[in-house]
A and B are shown apart, each in its own frame.
Chain A
Amino acid sequence: MECAKIRDLLSEYIDDALDAQTKALIDAHLRACPKCHEELASLKTLIRELGSLESLKAPDDFLEKLHERLEPRFTFRKIVRLLFVPGKVKIPLEFAAATAMAVLIFSILYIQGPEKMIPGVPESTTPGKMTEKTATDKVSPSGKGAEFKSKPVLGKTTAERSAKKQEIIELTLLLEKERSGDAQPSGESLKVASPRQRDAERPRTARHEAPKAEIEKDTLKRERQAMGFPEEEKPVIEGESQTPFSISNELLIKVKELIRLNEGRILSIEYGPHTERPKSIHAKIPAINYKSFCDKLNRLAILYTLPPSIPENTQGTIQIRIRFKSS
C-alpha cells in the first residue's frame, strides 16, 4: 500500500475505527516506513494536544443574562394572554367592543354631518346660525327697516332647536308676477293670478314632476268655488303700478292680520339680505285654527303647495313658517 493511502487512514487507525485486515496492513507498513511512522507519532501528539486543551467555562452570570434576554418574551406573552386568552371568551368580547366603537363613530360622523349640509335651508337655520335664536319681540307691523330684522339671541341648545325646527309647518305663498312697464305694458293683475295663469306661472318642472299636486290643486279650486269664493279674487286696477316691495309687504300685512284673527302670535319675520322685501314669517297659532287659517290664507294668495295636514287631535299651538315666493 502506498504511503499516501496509509497516511489518509492514519486518522482512523488512531481512533481504532478500522477493520482488522486494514489495521494489519497499516501495522506492517508502519514497521517498514519510518516516515509514515513519524507521521503517525505527529498526529497522535496533535490529537492528544487538542484533547487536553483546557475547557473554557461560561461567565458566572450566564443564566442571569439569559433570563434578561428571555424576560421580554415572557412579558409579551403575558400581555397576549391577558388580552386574547382564552380565545373563546375574549375574542368575541373584543369583537363586540370594536363593533360598538365602529357604530358610535359612524353615528357621530354620519348623523351630525348631513344636518350641516342640508341644501336650501334658509339663512336663519344655516349651521352658522344654529346657535342663535331669532328674537320674537322685534317684529314691527310695518315690517320696515333694519331694526325689524330678527336678531340673534343665545340660549337654547342645538338639540332643542333641532326638535323645534322639525315641528314648524312650512307654507309657501306664491307672489304674483311683478309688473314691469316695458315688459307688460297692458298692466295685468298683480294681486292674484287666475287659476290658468297660476298654472302657467308655476315652474314647469313642478308641473311635470308633481301631477298629483296639480290634481289636488284643481280639487282645491273646486272646493273654493263651492264655498262661494270668486275665481278672480280682485279686479285689476288698470294702470296701477305696484313695486315688488309693495306687493310683498301688502301681502305680509294681510298675513299678519290673518294670524292675529286666528289667535296666533308672530314669532319673527325674515327679510331679504339686500332688499327689504319679506322672505318669510314665522308664527304660532292654535292647532284647532290651522285648517281655517290655511283656507283663509289660500284666499289671500295662492299656496304654492297644499298645506300639510296635521292630526285632528293635535292640541296646543303649532308653529308655521310662511314663505313668500316670487312667481
Chain B
Amino acid sequence: MNKEIRNPPCSSKEDSELVKAFQAGDKAAFDTLVLRHKDKLYNLCYWFLGDGQEANDSAQEVFIKVFRSLRKFRFESAFSTWLYRIAANTCKNRLKSSEFRQKAKRVRFDNPGKIEDGQYAEEIQDKTSSPMIELEKKERMMLIHKAIASLPTDQSTVVVLRDIEGLSYEEVANITGINSGTVKSRLSRARQQLRKKLRGTL
C-alpha cells in the first residue's frame, strides 16, 4: 500500500514557482495553488472534523490565512507541509471551540457530507458503483470517522496524516512539530486503538 502512489503529492517545485510568482505580484498564481491543493485540504479537514460544512469552512479559512501570509513565506519547508501545518492547527482550534462542540452534539455523523443547501459537498470518485455499494462505503466511512474522532487529538492527527493522507513520518513530524520517534509511538497506539474499535467492522 503506497499512498504516495495512490495520491501523489503536488510537485513541490511547481508549488515553489507559484509561490514566487504570487510574491512577485501575480495573484492568479494563488488561484492555481488553491486549485492544486483544495481537494487534499478539504479531505484532510473532513477527516479531522467529520463534517462537510465544517471542512469547507475550515479549508477556506486555511487558504485565507495562506493568502495573508504567503508573501512572508521563506521556503524553509515545502509549501504543502506549511499548508498542512496551518490546516492541522486550524482544525485543532476548531475542534476546541465551544461552537463546534455544541454543533457536534446536535449533528449525528450518519450523514457526513450533507450541507445546508441539500447538496453533498463531497463526491464519490467511483460514480459507476451501485447505490448499495455507495451506501456501504458511506457507512464504513462514518464508522471509521467515529473511531478516529474518539481518539485523543494528537493520535487522530497522526493517523489521519499518515494513513489517510499517506504522508511520510518526516512530513508528519514537520507538520505536527514533534519528532519522528514520537510520531511512530503515537501512530502505533492510534492504530492499536482503531483496530480494537473497528474489529467487527473491518
Interface positions of A (Cβ within 8 A of B)? 7-12, 15, 17, 39, 42-43, 45-59, 62-63, 65-66, 69-70
- Judge whether B7 is part of the interface by a CB distance below 8 angstroms: yes
A-B contact pairs, 10 of them (CB 8 A): A43-B191, A46-B191, A51-B3, A52-B1, A55-B39, A57-B42, A57-B43, A58-B39, A63-B34, A63-B35
Contacts of A58 in B (CB 8 A): 38-39, 41-42, 56, 59, 121
Interface core residue of A47, A50, A57 (most chain B CB under 10 Å)? A50
Main secondary structure of the interface of B (DSSP, over half): helix
Question: With a CB–CB cut-off of 8 A, which chain A residues contact B202?
Answer: 42, 45-46, 49
Q: Which of B35, B67, B115, B144 contacts A49 (CB 8 A)?
A: B144
- Chain B residues with Cβ under 8 A from A12's Cβ? 184, 188
- Which chain B residue shows the least CB distance to A12? B184
Q: Knowing A50-B164, A51-B3, A51-B163 touch, does A11 contact B187 (C-beta < 8 A)? A: yes
Which B residues lie within 8 Å of A43 (CB)?
A: 191-192, 195
Given contacts A51-B164, A58-B56, A69-B60, contact A46 B194 (CB under 8 A): yes
CB <8 Å contact, A56 and B122: yes
Q: Would you call B10 an interface residue if the criterion is a C-beta within 8 Å of the partner chain's C-beta atoms? A: no
CB distance from A46 to the nearest CB of B (A): 5
Indicate if B82 sits at the interface (CB-CB under 8 A): no
Determine if B103 is an interface residue (Cβ-Cβ < 8 Å).
Answer: no
Q: Between A and B, how many residue pairs show CB distances below 8 Å?
A: 109
Whether B38 contacts A62 by the Cβ 8 Å rule is yes
Residues of A within 8 A of B31 (CB): 63
B43–A50 contact, CB under 8 A?
Answer: no
Query: Known: A50-B164, A51-B164, A54-B125. Contact between A59 and B56, CB under 8 A?
Result: yes
Do B192 and A62 touch across chains, with their CB atoms under 8 A apart?
no
The proximity string for B residues 109-125 relative to A, scoring 1 for CB distances below 8 Å and 0 otherwise, is 00001010001011111
A53 vs B39: C-alpha distance in the bound complex, in angstroms? 14
B22 within 8 A of A: no
- Known contacts: A42-B199, A46-B194, A66-B34. The answer to whether A55 contacts B144 by CB under 8 A is no
Residues of B bordering A, CB below 8 Å = 1, 3, 6-7, 31, 34-35, 38-43, 46, 52, 55-56, 59-60, 63-64, 67, 113, 115, 119, 121-126, 137, 140-141, 144, 159, 163-164, 166, 169, 184-185, 187-188, 191-192, 194-195, 198-199, 202
B43:A55 contact, CB within 8 angstroms: yes
Q: Are B39 and A7 in contact (CB under 8 A)?
A: no
Q: A57 to B67, alpha carbons, bound, how many Å?
A: 21
Contacts of B195 in A (CB 8 A): 39, 42-43, 46
Among A9, A48, A50, A56, find the residue whose CB has the most chain B CB atoms closer than 10 A. A56
The listed residue (A45, A50, A62) touching B42 by CB distance below 8 A is A62
The CA-CA distance from A52 to B137 in the complex, in Å, is 11
The answer to whether B122 and A57 touch across the interface, beta carbons within 8 angstroms, is yes
Given A12-B188, A42-B199, verify A51-B125 contact (CB < 8 Å): no
Given A52-B1, A56-B121: 16 more A-B contacts, CB < 8 Å: A8-B185, A42-B199, A43-B195, A46-B202, A47-B163, A51-B6, A53-B141, A54-B137, A55-B40, A56-B113, A57-B122, A58-B121, A63-B38, A65-B60, A66-B63, A69-B60
A66 and B119 alpha carbons, distance in the complex (Å) = 18
A-side contacts of B39, CB under 8 Å: 55-58
A52 vs B164: C-alpha distance in the bound complex, in angstroms?
Answer: 8
Bound complex: CA A64 to CA B176 (Å): 30
Q: Which are the 3 A-B pairs with shortest beta-carbon distances?
A: A56-B122, A11-B188, A58-B42
- Chain B residue, CB-CB nearest to A63: B34
Question: Across the two chains, which residue of chain B brings its CB closest to A11?
Answer: B188
A59 touches B121 (CB 8 A): yes
Please tell me which one of the listed residues A42, A51, A56 contacts residue B46 in the complex, with CB atoms under 8 A apart: A56
**Is there contact, CB below 8 Å, between B60 and A66?**
yes
How far is the CB of A56 from the nearest CB of chain B, in Å? 4
Q: How far is the CA of A58 from the CA of B56 in the complex (A)?
A: 7
Give Cα A12–Cα B202 distance, bound, in whole angstroms.
21
Residues of chain A within 8 A (CB-CB) of B67 are 70
Instruction: Please state if A11 and B191 are interface contacts (CB–CB under 8 Å).
Output: yes
